[in-house]
Amino acid sequence: MRQFEVEEGEAGQRLDKYLARRLGDVPRTRIFRIIRRGEVRVNGRRAGPEARLSPHDRIRVPPVRASTPAGDGPGGPHGLAGRQGEAVARSGAPPWMLQAVERAIVQSTDRLLVLDKPAGIAVHGGSGISFGVIEALRVLKPGEPLELVHRLDRDTSGCLLVARDAATLRTAHALLREGACEKRYLALVAGKWDLGRKRIDVPLRTDTRMGGERTVRADASGKPSLSEFRPVQFFGKTATLMEVALHTGRTHQIRVHAAYAGHPVAGDEKYGDAQFNERMRALGLTRMFLHAHSMSFEWPRGDTFSASAPLPPELSVVLDQLQGQHKRK
């Protein structure tokens, strides 16, 4: 166990940023995870990653390593054993991906695995990608009939559900088809959203290609697509943080509907605004600002299932920068 005391010059910093500096090479995702689990204590109490520190606050941090030592990763002599270790050795899967996917599991039940998927990792292989989340999970959990309940874009982070048996997969897919699953995302969009709470019911064509690459577009001949946008926080005329509820699950749906409304998603290289993206990069945005925040539904027997994933630190930093910029004006 390590302890730190906040000095006068460090006061006012967010807890996650303070620990990122103090802990050096420990990844921010790992820091965020131990805070979220309540393993970090400020003056003996739990605190959120956004908590602002005061002079002489005492922070207790559990043992945490910057990286997995050689030989201790999946398949190493001190890592996975038995069938799992053998599967890892045979798979040829990149060790970094296996470790990232294993760390991303935030909830496990008899029916489902819930992952807080990092941005930049595809949910499945294909199009030149050998391994995605589902392939990595099958290596980590050999013998389990794992299947994706739904999908997220490679550059989207957040809640991803994986069924652990065929019956669960069928039930979950039925709930999705019936619109009985509530899926909510957080997205930063360009400009000041003046539309209030807005339902965008615009059909999407998902079968068009430009230069060999799939491109989704609004078209009357497309599939029914419904998104509900609600502003959460305004940053002057520069940008707006939105919560988006998906009532259908078309490819790139939020991104295309946001662009259709005249407020493209920050960091979206395909449907976004290049000038706005450049401004956001200057504030530290290194990816698309789209995060699957929560999912919930009721099983047929009436039990409620819910899962959530907090906004990743790399996106929270951008909001902090926007807020600071707005206050200075």
Distance of CA 175 to the CA centre of its chain: 22
Rg (CA), the chain: 21
Pick the closest to residue 120 from 307, 290, 317, 294 (CA basis).
Answer: 290
Neighbours of 166 (CB within 10 A): 10
What are the distances in angstroms from CA 212 to CA 127, 130, 207, 215, 256?
11, 20, 11, 9, 19
Enter the tokens of residue 112: 């489902």
Give the active site residue among 153, 155, 268, 273. 153
Query: Helix (H) and strand (E) counts for the chain?
Result: 9, 16
Mapped onto helix, strand or coil, the DSSP state of residue 107 is: strand
Relative to beta strand 58-61, strand 45-46 is unpaired
Amino acid code (one letter) for 270:
K
Cα–Cα distance for residue pair 200/79, rounded to 1 Å: 49
Cα–Cα distance for residue pair 293/307, rounded to 1 Å: 9
Amino acid code (one letter) for 117:
K
Q: Which residue in the block uniquely carries the two structure tokens 């090479």?
A: 25
165 given a catalytic annotation: no
Cα–Cα distance for residue pair 317/126, rounded to 1 Å: 32
C-alpha distance across the termini of the chain, in Å: 43
H helix or E strand, kind and range, residue 140: helix 133-140
Beta strands in 55-121 (DSSP E): 58-61, 105-108, 112-117
Enter the tokens of residue 329: 């004006």
Catalytic residues: 153
